[in-house]
């Protein structure tokens, strides 16, 4: 048996190496804000940004909300005779209704007056498993809730949840992307491609902070109409593949339960898409709208059908099959403001009429 | 499975832990062999039969060769082993190449047909077939006894650290270490750690970055770049392939040490070579010595007169080229090296007694000239088309358009230069006088440097998507 002192001396290099790793870990954790600033997590940034203060109106949804609703253009909406000014958009790119539910819980510790959920057919597609929500949104309690509510996706969410937690154990691994982008921004000519990515990420972070969650994707500043005219054809829309509903839908009911319990008015918007997408997936959209109609019938939640014609959108307002471009976002946000005021006035009359 | 893959970082600790917890020799070797087969079958389990079949044939052939005194019978068993190994290697590696060329030739005679099948290359087949052949030949030559235990032989062939891309381990080097499970010493743990981290750093931080940042894009479309950029890309490729392959070997040797095994070195500062002959004594040593002992010497070596010796050299290098890959450019690469070897041998004999060969300026010139030959040759194995290769050669020999006053570094990402320096840091360190003395003084804090290297490769490595170059051979 080798005495411990001798073993320590013999393995001095290994101990120093391990000490170095620990030192590195501590140094990276102490500077975590720098790395997070250079590689913002879109979900976390928006959820934390929204939770920072009490909001009047919170817009939630997947990427159509992230790209299509600009809270700055809806500010000052007249709601039951009161001007609501503090808006925030929690648009989760790639998010499903399950993700939206958990994002809402964490983004609204102080419940808002109005919660607007811009929902679309892909949000309810049970064939979709998007890891970002499991990685960024869920707490241990949320995980247990998900396992109970959606047992068919329990294994999947558990695996991704714990993978994400494990990857946070080692700071070098956790912050590797942020460190790389930070270094690239220090010396842009060293690695131009990474420096460009660093610039893009920094812009997103700044926009999320300054534009109340609205940070349109840079390459979505284009026109679907022009792209089509140029011969571009969008590849198959995988988010509606193998369409089936029921499991994510449970979380739509849970969201409405939460809103009722917290005296929050929920408004659902059936988000606009291009005519091409609806032509490609008529059965999927029919099933989606059937489900929405059932929710309205059972829960009495108002649904705004944001059709292209109603809102005034054409293919030139879209960046692809489903995402509005900044011009489309402006049109949609203007329409939404007017619609919210209309609903506010109607419900106000109902409330006034019902009052003794 | 590859060393830099995520699954390997789960696989390795489990295999190591269980191996050292198992008390008995048979259990340990059984576990290690099983783990090695899992490693082998990870990507394509359908090919496990290849290594199992060859293991069985070579082990049995070795036993029969050792048990027989009749030379004719011994030769038959040896032939069975060689034909089995080379036969499977030929089918998997060269069948598509031969078929494609036959079909191209048939087109000349008006017969049009396309190859409709595809064969994946089983992991490490170029390496473990050579190990199998060396074993049965050594038994035939009575240089080693035949292995009694099939399990021991299976572990020798499949030992996962070196199975995918070498070094090609000889039975005489490995089997004596297996008599009793070797105990791991503190020095082996330390050296293994240095090699493991250093190898991954070479691969992930230097080779993969050079590929992603510079070498890949330039070789993909050389027409889009200036001659100066093409020259730098050729140099960067030389550093990339060295860091990729020597990085793999370092990891292999390091991991083997953690199991208590010593594998032979595969590199010895190859870019410090002062001739092409010297280079092949420093680069992929286990292959060059294998070709010398099992091909060049049996062909007669240099004992049958100069003409025959030169032909033997040419043949060995052409086959060496083809061993790397079944393609015409590999054949040309082998031929290029063979011709250089012949020319150098002739030159060596003619000028052996010249005094100027011992001067410092000649040493510098010899280093520079050798490096130039190597860089030119390496373009052959990286070019994506003959036209692209032609542009690279034009730049390297000064034939390409080179605008007057063109900046020597314009168009080269700044990060490439520190990466190149890091890639040859080991070579430069060897040139530093008192390098060993410094190394000893730095040893206490050396661990911090390796920890920093881990941080760098985790944060700045482009990930594990880029496979090791030599695994494809």
Q: State which CATH number among 3.40.50.1110, 3.40.640.10, 3.30.420.140, 1.10.569.10 fits the domain covering A52-151+210-354.
A: 3.40.50.1110
pLDDT band at B117 (very low <50, low <70, confident <90, very high): confident
Cβ–Cβ pairs < 8 A, chains A and B: 78
Top mean-pLDDT range of A61-70, A176-185, B314-323, B462-471: A61-70
Continuous segment of H or E residues that includes residue A225: helix A224-229
More confident residue, B225 or A104: A104
Rounded to the nearest 5°, which phi and psi values hold at B286? -65, -30
pLDDT, tens digit, 9 for 90 and up, residues B359-389: 888 889 999 999 999 999 999 989 888 888 8
- What percent of chain A is modeled with pLDDT above 70? 96
A1-25 mean pLDDT = 81
Chain A residues near residue B443 by CB distance under 8 angstroms: 13
Q: What value, to the nearest 5°, has the Cα angle with vertex B386 and ends B383 and B389?
A: 45
Of B237, B206, B193, B201, nearest to B375 by C-alpha is B237
**The dihedral of CA B279, B285, B288, B293: what is its sign?**
positive
Contact assignment for B190 to A14 by CB distance below 8 Å: yes
Residues of B in CB contact (< 8 Å) with A are 186-187, 189-190, 193-194, 197, 213, 413-415, 443-452, 454-455, 458-460
> What dihedral do alpha carbons B408, B411, B414, B416 form, nearest 10°?
-90
- Taking the C-alpha atoms of residue A237 and residue B111, their distance in angstroms, rounded to an integer, is 44
Alpha helices, DSSP H only, in B186-327?
186-200, 208-210, 216-220, 227-258, 276-280, 285-291, 306-324
- Mean pLDDT for the stretch of residues B24-46: 89
The residues, ordered by sequence, that sit 6+ positions from A248 with a Cβ below 8 Å of its Cβ are A96, A97, A98, A123, A124, A125, A126, A128, A150
Residues 6+ apart with CB under 8 A from A114: A56, A57, A58, A79, A84, A264, A265, A266, A267, A340
d(CA B139, CA B172): 10
- The pLDDT assigned to A315 comes to 93
Given its phi and psi angles, is residue A222 left (phi above 0), alpha (psi -120 to 50 degrees) or beta? beta
Q: Which chain A residues are Cβ-neighbours of B446 within 8 angstroms?
A: 13, 16
DSSP letter at B180 equals S
Model confidence at B64, pLDDT cuts 50, 70, 90, reads very high
DSSP B316-362: HHHHHHHHH-SSHHHHHHHHHHHHHHHHHHHHHHHHTT-GGGGSHHH
Structure letter (DSSP) for residue A312 = T
Is B286 in contact with B167 (CB distance < 8 Å)? Answer: yes
Q: Per residue in B228-285, pLDDT tens?
A: 889 999 999 999 999 988 998 999 999 999 999 999 989 988 998 989 999 999 998 8
Residue A200 at interface with chain B, using a CB cutoff of 8 Å: no
Nearest-angstrom CA–CA distance, B236 and B418: 11
Q: How far apart are CA B335 and CA B415, in angstroms?
A: 35
Tell me which residues of chain A, numbers 141 to 180, contact chain B at a CB-CB cutoff of 8 Å.
170, 172-173, 175-176, 179-180
Q: How far is residue B88's CA from residue B80's CA, in Å, rounded to a whole number?
A: 12
Residue A355: pLDDT over 50: no
Give yes or no: B324 in active site.
yes
Q: What 8-state DSSP symbol labels residue B182?
A: P
What is the model's pLDDT at position B212? 86
Please tell me the least confidently modeled range out of A44-53, A216-225, B138-147, B428-437: B428-437
**For residue A348, is pLDDT > 70?**
no
> B359 burial class (0-12, 13-18, 19+ CB within 10 angstroms)?
exposed
């Amino acid at each position: 048996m080798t005495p411990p002192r001798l073993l320590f001396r013999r393995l001095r290099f290994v101990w120093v190496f391990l000490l170095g790793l620990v030192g590195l870990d501590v140094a990276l954790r102490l500077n975590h804000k720098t790395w997070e600033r250079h590689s913002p997590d879109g979900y976390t940034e928006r959820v934390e940004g929204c939770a920072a203060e009490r909001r009047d109106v919170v817009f939630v949804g997947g990427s159509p909300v992230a790209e299509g609703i600009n809270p700055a253009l809806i500010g000052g909406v007249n709601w039951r005779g009161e001007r609501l000014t503090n808006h925030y958009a929690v648009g989760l790119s790639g998010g499903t209704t399950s993700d939206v539910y958990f994002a809402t819980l964490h983004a609204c510790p102080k419940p808002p007056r109005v919660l607007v959920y811009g929902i679309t057919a892909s949000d309810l597609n049970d064939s979709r498993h998007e890891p970002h929500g499991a990685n960024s949104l869920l707490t241990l309690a949320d995980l247990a809730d998900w396992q109970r509510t959606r047992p068919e996706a329990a294994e999947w969410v558990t695996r991704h949840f714990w993978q994400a937690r494990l990857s946070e154990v080692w700071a070098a691994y956790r912050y590797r992307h942020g460190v790389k982008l930070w270094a690239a921004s220090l010396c842009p000519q060293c690695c131009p491609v990474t420096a460009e990515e660093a610039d893009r990420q920094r812009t997103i972070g700044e926009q999320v902070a300054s534009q109340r969650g609205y940070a349109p994707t840079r390459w979505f500043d284009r026109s679907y109409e022009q792209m089509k005219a140029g011969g571009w054809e969008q590849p198959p829309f995988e988010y509606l593949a193998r369409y089936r509903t029921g499991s994510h839908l449970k979380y739509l009911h849970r969201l409405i339960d939460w809103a009722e319990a917290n005296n929050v008015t929920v408004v659902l918007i059936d988000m606009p898409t291009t005519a091409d997408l609806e032509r490609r997936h008529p059965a999927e959209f029919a099933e989606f709208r059937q489900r929405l109609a059932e929710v309205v019938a059972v829960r009495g939640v108002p649904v705004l059908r944001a059709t292209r014609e109603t809102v005034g959108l054409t293919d030139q307002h879209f960046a692809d099959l489903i995402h509005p471009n900044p011009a489309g976002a402006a049109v949609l946000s203007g329409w939404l403001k007017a619609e919210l005021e209309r609903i506010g006035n109607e419900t106000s009359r109902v409330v006034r009429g019902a009052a003794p | 499975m590859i060393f830099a893959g995520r699954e390997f970082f789960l696989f390795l600790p489990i295999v190591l832990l269980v191996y050292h917890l198992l008390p008995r020799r048979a259990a340990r070797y059984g576990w290690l062999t099983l783990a090695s087969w899992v490693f082998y079958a990870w990507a394509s389990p359908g090919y496990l039969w290849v290594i199992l079949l060859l293991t069985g044939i070579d082990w049995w052939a070795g036993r029969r060769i050792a048990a027989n005194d009749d030379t004719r019978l011994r030769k038959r068993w040896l032939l069975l082993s060689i034909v089995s190994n080379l036969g499977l290697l030929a089918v998997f590696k060269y069948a598509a190449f031969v078929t494609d060329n036959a079909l191209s030739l048939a087109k000349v005679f008006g017969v049009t047909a396309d190859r409709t099948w595809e064969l994946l290359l089983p992991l490490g087949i170029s390496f473990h077939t050579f190990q199998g052949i060396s074993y049965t030949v050594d038994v035939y030559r009575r240089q080693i006894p035949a292995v009694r235990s099939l399990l021991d032989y299976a572990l020798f062939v499949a030992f996962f650290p070196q199975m995918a891309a070498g070094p090609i381990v000889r039975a005489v080097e490995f089997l004596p270490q297996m008599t009793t499970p070797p105990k791991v010493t503190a020095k082996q743990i330390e050296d293994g750690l240095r090699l493991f981290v250093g190898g991954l750093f070479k691969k992930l931080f230097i080779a993969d970055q050079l590929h992603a940042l510079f070498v890949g894009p330039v070789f993909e479309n050389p027409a889009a770049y200036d001659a100066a950029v093409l020259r730098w890309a050729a140099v960067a490729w030389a550093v990339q392939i060295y860091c990729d392959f020597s990085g793999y070997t370092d990891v292999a040797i390091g991991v083997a040490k953690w199991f208590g095994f010593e594998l032979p070195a595969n590199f010895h500062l190859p870019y410090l070579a002062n001739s092409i002959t010297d280079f092949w004594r420093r680069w992929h040593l286990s292959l060059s010595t294998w070709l010398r002992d099992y091909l060049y010497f049996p062909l007669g070596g240099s004992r049958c007169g100069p003409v025959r010796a030169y032909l033997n050299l040419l043949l060995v290098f052409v086959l060496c080229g083809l061993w790397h890959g079944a393609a015409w450019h590999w054949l040309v690469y082998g031929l290029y090296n063979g011709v250089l070897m012949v020319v150098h041998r002739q030159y060596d004999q003619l000028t052996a007694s010249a005094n100027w060969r011992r001067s410092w300026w000649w040493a510098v010139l010899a280093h520079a000239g050798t490096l130039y030959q190597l860089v030119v040759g390496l373009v052959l194995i990286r070019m994506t088309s003959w036209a692209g290769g032609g542009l690279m050669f034009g730049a390297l020999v000064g034939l390409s358009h080179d605008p007057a006053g063109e900046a020597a570094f314009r168009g080269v990402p700044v990060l490439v230069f520190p990466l190149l320096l890091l890639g040859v840091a080991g070579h430069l360190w060897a040139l530093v006088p008192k390098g060993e003395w410094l190394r000893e003084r730095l040893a206490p804090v050396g661990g911090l440097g390796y920890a920093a290297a881990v941080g760098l490769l985790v944060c700045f490595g482009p990930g594990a998507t880029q496979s090791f170059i030599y695994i494809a051979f």
